[in-house]
Structure 1
Amino acid sequence: MILLKNRLARPFALALMLSAFSLPTMAETAPTGALDFLKLLRPSISGSFIAGQEAMKDLRTDEAARYFGQAVQGDWDNPILAERAFFAAAADGQIPQAAEMAKHLLDLQKGNELAELVQASVALKERRYGAAERALAQVPQDTFSGITAGILRAWALVGDGRGEEAEQLLAKLGQRGLEDFLVFHRTLMAEASGNKAKALELAEKAYDVEPYVPRVVEIYARMLANDGQFDAALDVINEFEAQGLSHPELTAVKATIASGKRPGVFVANAQIGAAEMYQGIGAALARDGSSDLALVFLRLANYLNPSSDVIPLTAAQLLDNAGQHEAANRIYDAVPANSPMKPAAVVRIAQNLDAIGNRSEALRRLRNIVATNPDDLDAVSALGDLLRYDEQYLDAAAAYSHAIELTGGDAPADWRYYYVRAIAYERAKEWPKAEADFLKALELNPEQPQVLNYLGYSWIDQDMHLERALEMIEKAVEMQPRDGYIVDSLGWAFYKLGRLDDAVETLERAVMLRPNDPEINDHLGDVYWEAGRKLEAGFQWQIAKAMDTEGGHVRDRAEAKLAEGLTEKTASE
C-alpha cells in the first residue's frame, strides 16, 4: 500500500493556507461584480474566459492555460485576466511561462504573493540565490504564504552557502509555535549544508514527532545508516513496517541498508529541499480540497526537482481524483522503468483504465503484474478490488487472501484486507467466512466505522444479534454522522427492531444525505408503508426505481411494491 502522507498536514497550516492563498472570486476582483466584468469584455475574450474557468474547475489545466492565454492576449493590461493566465500556466506545469506572466501581473497589481513565490522559485532553480532571497524578504511572515516564503528564503540562503543565516531565519519562524512544523526542514537544511551531526540530531526530533510518515522515516534511516548505524536504521524502518505500512522508496532504501551500504544523502542541494516544501504544502492542500492550488504547488515541486518520482505521482493522484485519468496516466507512463515507484504507477494506470470503462483490459494488466511479481501488495490489493467490483467475488476473496499472506495479517493496518475479503464472502453468500473476517477486522481496528456499520447492518438484515448490532451502528454514526450509508443502516436497524418513529426520522435524514441512492429511498418507502403513510411510500419507491439506472435488484423490488404494496415477497433485503 502506498502512503503519500505528508508532514505538513497540520491544522494551523491548513487554516493559514486557506486565508492566504484562496483565489479571489470574480465578485471580489471585478469593479462591479462578475457579470458586469464579463459584459465589459469582447465576446471572443469573454468566451475564452468562461471556457478557461470551466476547464480549470475540472483540472483540465492544458485547456485552461490555452483559453486564459487567449483571453489575456486580447486585453493585455487586465489584471484579472493576467492573474488567471498566470495561475493556469503554473497549474499546468509551465513554470517559466508562468513566471513571465507573474512579472507582468506584479507590474499591474502589486502584492500577489503566489506570483512572488513563482518568480523566486525560478530564481532558486537558476541558482540566483541572492535574487530569490531578496525578493522573498519583502513578503510579510504573518500568514501561511509568509511562512512559505520564509522557508523558501531559507533554502535560498542554504543554496548561497549561508546555512547559519537560514537556521536563524527558521528559528525566528519557530518562535510562532511552529517548531514541530519546521524541524523537518531544519533537518534537511543541516544535511544540505554538510552539518551531518546537526542533521542527525534534528532528524531524531522529527522522527519523534512523526514516526509513521514515510518521508521522515526514510530520512532518519538514511542519516543513521550514513553514520554507520545500520542496525538502528533498520530498526526504524522495521517499526514503520510493523504497523502494516509501506512505501516503495523506503523499501528500496531498506534493501540498500540491509546490504551494508550507505544510502547517501537525501537533499543534495537547495532545489531538492525547496521541492520537498512545495510537495508537502501541495499534498496538504489536496487533502483539504483546494485542488487547483495544490496542483500549482506540486508543479513547482516537480520543476525544482524533476528527478523525483514521488512528486509527479502525487500530482497524478490529484488528477485522478478530479477524473482526469488520461492526464494522470501520462504522468504514470513517464515514471522511469527502474524507479521504485514504477510498479505503483503501472497499477494506477490499470485502475484508470477501469475508471474510463475498460475493465477487461484493467484486469488483464493487473493479472499480468501479479503473475510477474506476486509479492507486489499494491497490485494484489488492486486486483482484488477490481474483481470485487466486477462481482467475481470468490476470485476477489482469493486475491485478498494472497494480500493477507504477504502482510502476515496481524498488523493494525491489515484490518482493511479482512474487511474487503469479508465483503467478497458476504456477496458470494458465504456468511460464516464473512462474519469471521468482519470480526477479525474489528479485532485489529475496534473503532473502524465502516466495519462496525457493515457487520452491524448484516446482522440486522439477518435478524441476528440485534441489540449488539444496533450499538455498533450507533457508534459508527457517532463517528461519521454525515455518512448517508451508515445513517441508513441505523434507520434500518430501528425498523427491524420495530421502532418506526425512530426509523422514519433516521431514514429521512439518510435520504437528505444521499438523495440519489436507490437503496436508501427504497428503505424509506418501506418504513413509510409500515407507518401507514402509503402515498409517501409509493413516492419513495418511484424515486428508488428511477435512481436504479443500472437495472439492479432495487428497481425490481420497487416495481413489485408499486404494484402489490409491501408484502413478505416484496420487502427490501
Structure 2
Amino acid sequence: MTRFRRRLLPVSLAILMSGTTLTPALAAGPGVDRGADGGGSATGSYLAGRYAQHQDDWTAAARFTAQALAADPDDPALLGRTFLLRLGEGRIEAAIDHANRLLNGQGEPQMALTLLAADALAKGKLDEADGYAARLPSDGIGRFLTPLTRAWLVTARGKTDEALAALQPLSDVKGFEALYNLHAALILDLAGRNDEAAARYAKVTDTDAPLRVVQIVGNFMTRTGRKDEARKLYQTFQGNNPDGLLVEPALAAMANAPSEARPVPDARSGLAEALFDLGSALHHENADEPALLFGRIALHLRDDLALAHLLIGDITASRDHHEEALAAYKRLETDPLLGWTARMREADSLARMDRNDEAIAILKDLSAERPERTDAITRLGDIYRYSKRYAEAIPAYTTALERIGTPQERHWPLLYARAMCFEKTKQWQQAEADLQTALKLRPDEPSLLNFLGYSWIDRGENLPKARAMVERAVELRPRDGYIVDSLGWALYTLGDYEAAVAKLERAVELKPGDPTINDHLGDAYWRAGRRNEARFQWMRALRSADEETDKGAIQAKLDKGLPDQKAAAKQ
C-alpha cells in the first residue's frame, strides 16, 4: 500500500486600488428600482459580474459589469469596478475612458490617476501628467507609488535634482530603501552623473540582488568602462543562484548586449520600470490583482518590457488562466534573456491544461538544446510522473542526475522523485537506494524519513529503525495528515492498535476527506474491537474513494469485516 502523494508547491495585501466603495443601492443590485424595463437584466448582469470576478474570470466579469454599467452609467461603484476589470484584462483604451469618467465624479481613485498620468507621459503631455500626479495620495500604496511617479515625471523635464527631491519620501518607507536607491541611480544615470549613480547602484548590489537589478547595474558598469566589475557581479549572482532558470541565459544576454544600450533609456521607460517593480513586489506578496494592474500600465508605457510580460503570464497562470498565460509567454520565446524561462513556463501551463504531449515536446527540445542543464529534463520527468507514466519518468530523472554528477543537498527532491517512480514500477531496491542517498544529503527531511520508514514497516524490514524514522517525521511535521497517518499505520502494522487508533484519529482530523486515512482508521478500530466505528470509517472511505482506492477491498470489509488475525497470518 503506497502512502505518498505529490504536494503542489507553488500574505495577501488588502489594498483598495480604485478609491471607490459599494453604494447602498449597489448592495441590493444596480437598477433594482427600475421596474420591469431592464431592472432584472441590470441586476442579473451585476450579479453575474460579481460571481465571475469571484471565480477569477476577469474577462467575463468585465463583460457583465459593463452591461450593468450601461443600464446605470452614473453609478460610481459600477464605473470603478468596470475600470479595474478592463485594465486587468489589458483593454487599455476602454480603461482610459472609464478612468476619465471616474475623475469627473467624487474621490481620487489612485489607479485611475496612475493610468492617466502614464498615458499622458506616453503622449508627451507633461503638464497633463503632472496634474494627475499631483492628485495622487500620499498614504496607503501612495507612499510608494506617488514618489516614483512624480520623480519620473520631473525627470522627463530634465530636472534631475528636483526629481531626486520628489523621490526622497520613498527613502523613509521601511523596506523600500533598495527601490529608492535603484530609481535614484537610474535618474542620475540618465543625467550622466556617473559617480553619483555608481554610489547608488552599489547600495542595491551589496546583498543578494535580483536579476533585474543585476542586469541594470551590470549594464551600467559595462557602459562606464567597468567590465571587470560587471563580470564579478554576474559571477556572484550565478554563484548565489546555481539552479536559477534565468541565470545562464541572462548572463549570455548581458554579455552580448551592445555596450551603449541602456535597459532604462528615458523617463517613460523609468516610470514603466517603477510600476513593474511595484507589481513584482506585490506579486511576491500574493497580492496579484494590484500586481496585474501595475503590470498592465507598465506595458502601456513600454510594450517591450519583457519582464512585465513574464509577470502577466505568471499572474494569469497562478489563477489558472493558462490560455492568457501562454499568450504572454509566447511573446517571449525568442527573447535573449527570458526565452528559456518563457518556454519552460509554457510547458507548465500546457501540462496544467492536460496538454501533456505538447509540454513534453517543448521540454525535450529544451533538454536537447542545452545538454548541460538539468531544469528541462527534470521538469520532463515531473510531467511523466504527474501523469503516472512512471517508467518514462525514470530515464528523465536519471539523465538529470547524470548531468549533475555528484548531487548536493539541494538535489534531494530529484532522488525522492525517482524513488517514487521506482517504487511505483516495483523496483524497490533502486527506490531504497535513492532514498538512502537522499537522506545522506538531507538527514532530517520529513518526506524522506516518512517514505523510507513507512516502506520498511510495510515490508516488515528494519522495524525499530523504521518506526523511529516515521516518529521523527511526525515530530518535524506534526500537522501533516499523511505523515501522521504513516505513523498510525506503522503502529497498526506493528500490532499496537490502541496507539494506532490515537494517531489515525489525529490524521483524520488533519485530512478528513482522504479515503486511505479513513480506511486505515477503520482497520485500526476493528482490531481494537470497535466494530461499529470501524464500519462507519470504511463507509466514509468508500464515499470519498478516488481512482487509486481499492473500492472492492473496502466493500469486502464492510460486508465481512477483517479476517481474524490467525487467518490473516496464514494468508
Distance in 1, matches of 2:498 and 2:183, equals 56
Per the alignment, residue 9 of structure 1 pairs with: none
| Cα-to-partner distance string for 1:473-515 (whole Å, 9 max, x where unaligned) | 134415xx4x543454455456556666665455445434433
Q: Could you tell me whether the CA contact under 8 Å between 1:473 and 1:489 is conserved in 2?
A: no
Give 1:383 shift. 0.9
Of 536, 555, 561 in structure 1, the residue corresponding to residue 551 of structure 2 is 555
Matches of 1:18 and 1:380, distance apart in 2: 39
Cα distance in structure 2, aligned partners of 1:192 and 1:459? 65
Question: What TM-score does the superposition give when structure 1 sets the normalisation length?
Answer: 0.83
TM-aligned CA distance change 1:529 to 1:67, over 3 Å? same
Cα separation, 2, equivalents of 1:484 and 1:287: 28
- Spell out the pairing of 1:446-525 with structure 2 (5 A cutoff): 450-451=447-448, 453-462=450-459, 464=462, 465-477=465-477, 481=479, 483-489=480-486, 491-492=488-489, 495=492, 503-504=500-501, 506-525=503-522
Amino acid paired to 2:23: A
**In structure 2, C-alpha distance between the alignment counterparts of 1:449 and 1:166, rounded to whole Å:** 53
CA deviations 1:212-259 (Å, max 9, x no partner) are x22233333333333333343333333333345455654344225657
Aligned partner of 1:300 among 297, 300, 315? 297
Aligned to 2:27: 34
User: Per the alignment, in what secondary structure is the counterpart of residue 268 of structure 1?
Assistant: coil
| Letter paired with 2:236 | E
Query: What residue identity is the alignment partner of 2:27?
Result: A
User: Shift of the alpha carbon at 1:307?
Assistant: 0.7
Which amino acid in structure 1 is aligned with residue 207 of structure 2?
A: V
TM-score, normalised by the number of residues in structure 2: 0.84
Q: Distance in 2 between matches of 1:147 and 1:519?
A: 50
CA distance in 1, matches of 2:286, 2:222: 38
What are the superposed Cα offsets for residues 306-360 of structure 1, whole Å, 9 maximum, x if unpaired? 1122222222222222222222222223335354433433343333333223333
- Displacement of 1:99: 2.0
Checking the alignment, whether the CA contact within 8 Å between 1:369 and 1:379 is kept in structure 2 is yes
Question: Do residues 185 (structure 1) and 183 (structure 2) align?
Answer: yes
Deviations 1:350-403 (A, max 9, x none): 333332233334334433443455445442222111111233324313212323
Q: How many residues align?
A: 549
Pairing partner for 2:205 from 185, 189, 207 = 207
Report if aligned partners of 1:118, 1:300 keep a CA contact under 8 Å in 2.
yes
**Using a 3 Å threshold, how does the CA distance of structure 1 residues 85 and 538 change in structure 2: closer, same or farther?**
same
| Residue of structure 1 equivalent to 2:4 | none
Cα 1:108–1:441 shift into 2, 3 Å: farther
Give the superposition deviation at 1:110.
0.9
Distance 1:281 1:430 in 2: 50
Structure 2, gaps ≥5 residues long: 1-10
The answer to whether 1:386 aligns with 2:386 is no
Structure possessing the higher radius of gyration over alpha carbons? 2
CA RMSD of aligned residues (A): 3.4
Deviation track 1:108-148 (CA, whole Å, cap 9, x = no partner) reads: 23122222222222223333344334432333323223322
Q: Would you say 1:108 and 2:105 are equivalent positions?
A: yes
Deviation at 1:94, TM superposition (A): 1.4
CA contact (8 A) 2:18 2:80 kept: no
Equivalent position SS for 2:104:
helix
Shift of residue 101 of structure 1? 0.5
Distance 1:259 1:99, change over 3 A: closer
CA distance, structure 1, for counterparts of residue 359 and residue 531 of structure 2:
46
Contact 2:384 2:392 in 1 (8 A): yes
Give SS of 1:111's match. coil
Q: 1:206 to 1:145 in 2, by over 3 A?
A: same
1:425 corresponds in structure 2 to 422
Using a 3 Å threshold, how does the CA distance of structure 1 residues 33 and 137 change in structure 2: closer, same or farther? closer
The offset of 1:154, in angstroms, is 1.8
- In the alignment, the residues of structure 1 paired with residue 123 and residue 444 of structure 2 have an alpha-carbon distance, to the nearest angstrom, of 50
Return 65-74 or 531-540, whichever deviates more. Answer: 531-540
- How far has the Cα of 1:78 moved from its partner? 0.6
What is the match of residue 7 of structure 2? none
Q: Say if 1:130 and 1:160, in contact at 8 Å, map to a contact too.
A: no
In 2, are the aligned partners of 1:30 and 1:37 still within 8 Å (CA)?
A: no
Does the 8 A contact of 1:45 with 1:71 survive in 2? yes
The one of 152, 175, 178 aligned to 1:155: 152
Aligned residue among 217, 222, 225 for 1:225 = 222
For the pair 1:270 / 2:267, whether they are aligned, the reply is yes
1:540 to 2:533 alignment: no
What amino acid does structure 1 have at the position aligned with 2:382? D
1:273-288 → structure 2 map (5 Å cutoff): 273-288=270-285
Segments of 5+ residues of structure 1 without an aligned counterpart are: 1-13
- State how far apart, in whole Å, the 2-side matches of 1:504 and 1:418 are: 33
Structure with more relative contact order (C-alpha pairs < 8 Å, separation 6 or more) = 1
CA deviation vs aligned residue, 1:427-464 (integer Å, no higher than 9, x gap): 33334443444455455556655445545544554554
Cα gap change, 1:98 to 1:276, in 2 (>3 Å): same
SS at match of 1:110: coil
- Work out which of the residue numbers 60, 66, 70 in structure 2 matches 1:69: 66
Within 5 A, what are the aligned runs for 1:301-380?
Answer: 301-375=298-372, 377-380=374-377
In structure 2, how many angstroms separate the alpha carbons of the residues matched to 1:361 and 1:107? Answer: 49
Contact 2:470 2:483 in 1 (8 A): no
The secondary structure found in structure 2 opposite 1:29 is coil
